[in-house]
Amino acid sequence: MNAPAITIRSGELVALRLFDIAYGIDLTQSESLWAAHVGGTTSRTHLASTPTKAIAFEVPPLRLSLDPIDLMLGSEKVVTEASVRLYDFGVAALAVRVKVTDISWDTFVERFDALDQAAGPDTPAPFWLTLLDHVREVIAPALDRPALDARLQEDYLLGSVYAFDEVVDAASLSERVDLIRLLSGETRPLSAAARRDLLSRSFSYYADDLAVLTWDRAFIYEPRGDSDVADVIEVANAQLVEFRYYDTLLDDELPRMYDRVEAARHLSSLFASRRFAHLARHLHTLVAEVTQLTEKVDNALQVTEDVYLSRVYSAALGLFRVPTLNASVDRKLAIIRDTYAALYDEASSRRAELLEIIIIVLIITEIAVTLLLH
């Protein structure tokens, strides 16, 4: 016989939309600008229940409170809490939160799907761009090389339960509620293989907590009410956005680099050596900047002793293909490094060749002058 249905006493639904907005963000200046122009709540993010020595942000991101937003979830109008978290490597993570109390699991799932539709998983809903424009307008002086548009973005949904109407342990939770329906967003039954895959990244530390991650959704059961798991999932998404940016940047740079090298080789030796040296310096600067920023992104969250959060964080990075993108960026940087090293060698060779020609001309001139004088 099936166990009786349980009620969610408290929880929340969260839609995240992350944008690359700049090469870097001065968080201290952003906090001052926000306090001066908006006056809303600001805070630096720290993991609530984890010792700093175990896991911590290298540069704690800045959280800014935004005005509430009215959203239609199906036929129901709800007021959401809105906020943005700024990362110093140039990412803005917008969030809208819907508090839920005393609702059934089926209603929880329906609202989750409705939030997915309202938040626009494929294209940004207008309210995302309105929020983003407001944030960028206020903190504009703190942005280093701001992005011209907001094309590069990621979205994610989090469904969190803080309390049921009865004590439920993690081992039996999947038997009491339909996690597959929540995580997949599908109304039709899934195959056994698909169900196993959806639940393959499930994590528990205590008997009464659970986190299940998928590519675009996660479920978190956390009776203590802390947000550490949600925070590390957001960091992984922020790193995904930034590595996607640098992967795209280098994809665009490589063809231009080949064209410039080819154009330089068609010049005479007198001008080619200078052009090679100039191009090599440009590529060296690009590699240095990208390397510095990717290292900052890679080290955004320092994990040492907290095994549980470390597992969740590593699973999120792997699920979002962050290591694969990181490796892709490294390969492209290696190609550019090899290219500018070859350009330096070729520039030096062209200069040596030019010097040899000059010396030979001088010797011939000296011999000719000597013969004419005698």
pLDDT digits (tens, 9 = 90+) for 320-331: 998 898 888 888
As a whole number of angstroms, the distance between CA 281 and CA 177 comes to 60
The tokens for 302 are: 């320092």
The Cα 138–Cα 38 span in angstroms is 8
Say what the pLDDT of residue 29 is.
Answer: 94
Render pLDDT for 293-320 as a digit per residue (tens, 0 to 9): 777 787 777 776 678 888 999 999 999 9
Split at pLDDT 50, 70, 90, the class of 255 is: confident
Distances (CA, A) of 106 to 3, 97, 213, 255, 258: 15, 19, 20, 52, 56
Model pLDDT, residue 96: 95
Q: Tell me the whole-structure pTM to 2 decimals.
A: 0.84
- Contact between 164 and 7 under an 8 Å Cβ cutoff? The reply is yes
Q: What percent of the chain has pLDDT over 90?
A: 41
For residue 11, the surrounding DSSP H or E stretch is strand 7-20
| Token representation of residue 274 | 């200078």
Task: Give the other-Cβ count within 10 Å of 39's Cβ.
Answer: 8
Beta bridge partners of 65: 83
Distance CA 144, CA 26 (A): 8
Confidence of residue 272 (pLDDT cuts 50, 70, 90): low
Residue 259: predicted pLDDT: 72
Q: To which residue do tokens 């200069």 refer?
A: 351
pLDDT greater than 80 at residue 47: no
Tokens of 110: 């329906």
Would you say residue 133 has pLDDT above 80?
A: yes
* 162-176, 241-255, 257-271, 357-371: least confident range: 257-271
Q: Residues 45-66: what's their mean pLDDT?
A: 72
Region 105-115 average pLDDT:
93
What's the pLDDT at 38?
A: 82
Tracing tokens 């890679």 back to the chain, one arrives at 298
Q: Calculate mean pLDDT across residues 362-366.
A: 84
Name which of 49, 44, 47 is nearest 30 in CA terms.
44
**Residue 349 — very low, low, confident or very high, per pLDDT cuts 50/70/90?**
low
Distance, CA of 53 to CA of 306 (rounded, Å): 9
How far apart CA 271 and CA 280 sit, in angstroms, is 14
Instruction: State the pLDDT confidence band at 1, using cuts at 50, 70 and 90.
Output: very low
Task: Check pLDDT > 80 for residue 267.
Answer: no
Where does residue 348 fall: left (phi above 0), alpha (psi -120 to 50 degrees), or beta otherwise? Answer: alpha
- The tokens of 167 are what? 């004590």
The CA-based diameter of the chain, rounded to the nearest angstrom, is: 121
CA distance 96 to 184: 21
Q: Please name the residue that has the structure tokens 């996690």.
A: 179
Residue 95 has pLDDT above 50, yes or no: yes
